[in-house]
Chain A
Amino acid sequence: MVMSAEPWQTAEIPGPKKALVITKPEVVAAMIKRAQHPVLVVGHKASETDFEGGKLVDFIIEFSKKTGIPVVATAHMIGEFAKRGFKPAAFMPAVDIGNRLVDPSWTGVDGKGPHDLALFVGLYYYMEWTILSGLKHFAKHLKTVSLDNVYHPHASWSFPNLSHEEWVKNLKVIMEKV
């Protein structure tokens, strides 16, 4: 696919406010380092998406271990994590975590206070963009990043539509830099 900042799904045209494009993965690494209380939301596609001989979920586990970012597993991802001996900070439906993130008084998945950065990966494209839209409009205290290989116009930051290889390379850079 061509590298483009057009939304992945045809006609998903948001409006005046669109995600900044991650042209350098180092930017995401810097955001993560700067964040006081980030959280990573992982959808069910993380167990279906290939990643360097394994699955995306394997990368996520390493990523969480390295950065200490708490993971929220949506749908049945909790079982996929459990199979790999990893315990996420929480599991709940995708709409539930979205709903909690808009609440500035929510004390977060670990009870340590509101999150200021939410990273998303592995949801259905249309679920992710609608939840990101909810956060864009109603969670002013929060920055959002999509780690998927497609452009998510409602995130604060998103990759453009990337080939699988380019995307893997970018995620590995983030892993190195955090």
Chain B
Amino acid sequence: MRSDLGLIKNLELSIGKIVEETWTEPVGPTPFPSLTTLREWDMKLLQRYKPFYLPFCDVCCLCTFGKCDLTGGKRGACGIDMAAQQSRIVLLACCIGAATHTGHARHLVEHLIEKYGRRMPLDVGGLNIQVEAPITRLVCGVKPETLGDLEEILDYVEQQITHCLSVCHTGQEGGNLDFESKVFHVGMLDHVGMEVADIAQIAAYGFPKGDPDAPLVDLGYGTVNIEKPVILCIGHNVVPSVGIIDYMKENGLDGEIEVCGLCCTAHDMTRYYNRGKIIGPISWQLRFIRSGVPDVVVLDEQCIRTDAFYEAQRIKAPVIVTSEKNCMGLPNRTNDSADAIVEDLVSGKTPGVLILDPEKVGEVAVKVALKVTPLRKKFKAIPEVDEILQIVKECRQCGDCRRACPQDLHIPEAMKAAMEGSLAKLADLYDLCVGCGRCEEACPAGLQVHSFIIKAGEKKLKEETYKVRAGRGPIQDVEIRNVGSPIVLGEIPGVVAFVGCSNYPKGGLDVAEMCREFANRRYIVVTSGCSAMTAGMYKNEEGKTPYEEFTGEFTAGCLVNVGSCVANAHIAGAAIKIANIFAKRNLRANYEEIADYILNRVGAVGVAWGAYSQKAASIAAGFWRLGVPVIVGPHGIKYRRMLLGRADREEDWYVYDARTGEKVHVGPAPEHLFYAAETKEEAMVMIAKLCMRPNDTTKGRAIKLTHYIDLHKRLYGTMPEDIHRFVRTIADIPVTMKDEIIKILEEKGWKETVIPDPTLLSRLIRKKKE
């Protein structure tokens, strides 16, 4: 470089990144929090909602000191006790869940940057959604504006997950509550990872941008035109599906091929392409593959049956695996020509391939589907009725199928009826079966029990034609402004989010019924993932599904599908935005204050009725740290511990009045933070109860009590016995029940109290008591 001052030779300049600060909000106290930054907040929650441990197993079998017997207060060879061991396993599960979403986000962001560049703006809703990444802003204290900005957020999340995972190592953390705090931490990180994944794909792929009128898309086996070539995509990462859809469109094949999906990739596919079909939740995998309808099976990542390749081989459908995380032992053909791969798959020379280039996946899948369809004639793996009636005679009535069934279904009785010539009892099991296939694994005679159930229920399967609103993504800022006041004041009785998987105790109808019940009661009802699909698998007397019956706008009496698993971030995001947009609380790196606001004021409850996975565990953990209670179905008790409040311990239910610094008793609102309900009835009563918050106005509390009491009376047949814990002043009492409730209050020795400006954070007290 030559200048007036002189000559500089061999000068090298390297500019990594120029940070342009455009966000004027001051940075809050906790940007990019470490493992212990929010520990005090966690301990406040854990003091009130203490863990109740439900060990899955008496021993620890994680290291070579063991197995160690931890029964009756014994410690293992490393010194760990059972409480710490259980919370360690919960942390491990949540690390797996968070790593799964974050790994998904990383792959997605890398792919999209390669395709669209780092500078691609993160537009997830234009002027309607200016707070585009509420969780990221809250946790990290940064405002991402481009795809490239998401990389450093993922750097932070990955670093923290690694730290949390290392905590699970033998000879690390010893305190169970500290493990629990780290569970909250990794749950929080999980929500950041999910948010990154979904806003990246919304911006890059043009998914609905917070659109209340996102299109209604087809749902159910019966919506698939089986005369056409059918490509089935299973998993969570939409990138290969986009490759398929783009190739079809570019080659004028749109409408010539059915592209359908199972699990969350189906949601995301229909957010991109509204002619895509959602077959159903994760539990429909076996039944749909065995039906013989799919001509090509494409697997991406997460929630895939690991025997999907084997199952696809049974119907002679070629398989394409597309993710580094799920190679299924198949040869890597990424660098081969598409036509060579197609030839090998169509000829049967190879039953499956790994292709790590999504565009090539698209070309190969489409070409294979077109060629293989006429050859294979939809070959089924499910026997015909006559065959079944013959084969079932081999049943020994040993009962092992029932003992293996997670739902304890009465399979032996149904098999016995089949031996006598009737498939009716097997057909009855169709609605209750979660599709795990454990019955077949258990059968000593090798009978295809699950296939028998599917055949018996085939008529129902073929009649499955429903509608679900495509995942809309974030909630608009204006919607938050509109509902913020009635939610916080309690006039909208609550926000209920039905999320998660499909390990339902009595089939999926429960979810649809609960959604309808609370939407009809003018709650804000939100869905995502497999639950969103299940909610759609129901029709009212007029033949309408709940998505046709209720509005998609985030308002009282709605049914809002935010999208796939990673779109769960928008549910947490909505709660955060209520605190930020409506209540004008600072958002930037201000985690404790926002969580304190949500816990005390936002009547939100998550319901994961069929939760089964580690991802569901970490999603729940993210909600806990934000102060949102989560109800799981009865199988959720197998997550090894609950976080339960004790309504009978008055000392647990005090908050500060931010106006005066006085400690005020506010009752058990919300009573629990994590809780497994035994039945649908119990869940519904508890949803209404857990929506109560200390800040409810008298009018709002009266509305919430009305729903709680009404549901209690209808489903339990009695008045609740804890009304006195929720009535703060006479004005809280629902007018129509005044006399009845006052009598109860008198019997309980109830005394009036004040309604404070509630907080658990002493630093938020405006005028401290002298």
Contact = CB atoms under 8 A, between A and B. Distances in A.
B721 A17 contact: no
A134 B717 contact: no
B458 interface: no
A83 B717 CA distance: 8
Nearest to B59: A15
A99 B716 contact: no
A16 B60 CA distance: 11
B663 interface: no
A79 interface: yes
A133 B677 CA distance: 18
Nearest to B631: A93
Interface stretch (A62-70, A136-144, A165-173): A136-144
Nearest to A101: B52
B675 interface: yes
Contacts of B438: 10
Contacts of B634: 124, 126-127
B507 to A, nearest CB: 14
Interface string B404-419: 1010100000000000
B749 interface: no
Contacts of B648: 100, 106
Contact of B53 (A8, A15, A94, A137): A137
Interface string B57-86: 111000000000111110000000011000
A93 B682 contact: yes
Interface string B702-724: 00000000000001111001000
Interface residues of A, number: 42
Given A10-B400, A10-B442, A43 B52 contact: no
Nearest to B85: A137
Given A93-B686, A99-B52, A75 B718 contact: no
A160 interface: no
A117 B300 CA distance: 51
Given A16-B69, A76-B715, A136-B71, A94 B678 contact: yes
Given A99-B642, A126-B634, A93 B721 contact: no
B53 A95 contact: no
A102 interface: yes
A22 to B, nearest CB: 20
A120 interface: no
A66 B50 CA distance: 36
Contact of A76 (B57, B73, B505, B681): B681
Contacts of A136: 55, 58, 71-72
A133 B403 contact: no
B403 A123 contact: no
Contacts of A93: 675, 677-678, 682, 686
Interface in A70-101: 74-76, 78-79, 82-83, 91, 93-96, 98-100
B646 A99 contact: yes
Contacts of B55: 133-134, 136-137
Contact of B71 (A17, A100, A123, A131): A17
Nearest to A73: B716
A75 B57 CA distance: 26
A84 to B, nearest CB: 11
Q: Range of interface residues on chain B?
A: 35 or more
Nearest to B674: A95
B644 interface: yes
A3 to B, nearest CB: 13
A76 B644 contact: no
A1 B411 CA distance: 13
B52 A124 contact: no
Given A95-B642, A136-B71, A140-B72, A16 B56 contact: no
Contact of A134 (B52, B59, B69): B52
Could you say which of A13, A44, A126, A140 has the most chain B C-beta atoms within 10 Å of its C-beta?
A126
B170 to A, nearest CB: 18
A59 interface: no
B721 A91 contact: yes
B637 A95 contact: yes
A63 B681 CA distance: 26
Contacts of B52: 95, 98-99, 102, 134
Nearest to A124: B634
A156 B57 CA distance: 15
B717 A82 contact: yes
B676 interface: yes
A129 B406 CA distance: 13
Contacts of B716: 76, 78-79, 82, 91
A36 interface: no
Contacts of A138: 53, 82-83
A82 B58 CA distance: 38
A137 B70 CA distance: 8
B178 to A, nearest CB: 18
A78 to B, nearest CB: 5
Contacts of A51: none
A9 interface: yes
B738 interface: no
A95 B676 contact: yes
Q: Which 10 A-B pairs have the closest CB atoms?
A: A15-B58, A79-B717, A76-B681, A75-B678, A130-B54, A99-B52, A75-B679, A75-B682, A134-B54, A10-B404
Interface of A: 1, 8-11, 13-17, 43-44, 74-76, 78-79, 82-83, 91, 93-96, 98-100, 102, 106, 123-127, 130-131, 133-134, 136-138, 140
6 contacts: A16-B71, A44-B679, A75-B677, A79-B715, A130-B637, A136-B58
Interface of B: 52-59, 69-73, 82-83, 399-400, 403-404, 406, 408, 438, 442, 505, 634-635, 637-638, 642, 644, 646, 648, 675-679, 681-682, 686, 715-718, 721
Given A126-B634, A130-B54, A136-B72, 13 more contacts: A10-B442, A11-B404, A15-B57, A15-B71, A75-B681, A75-B682, A76-B715, A78-B718, A95-B675, A96-B644, A133-B55, A137-B70, A138-B83
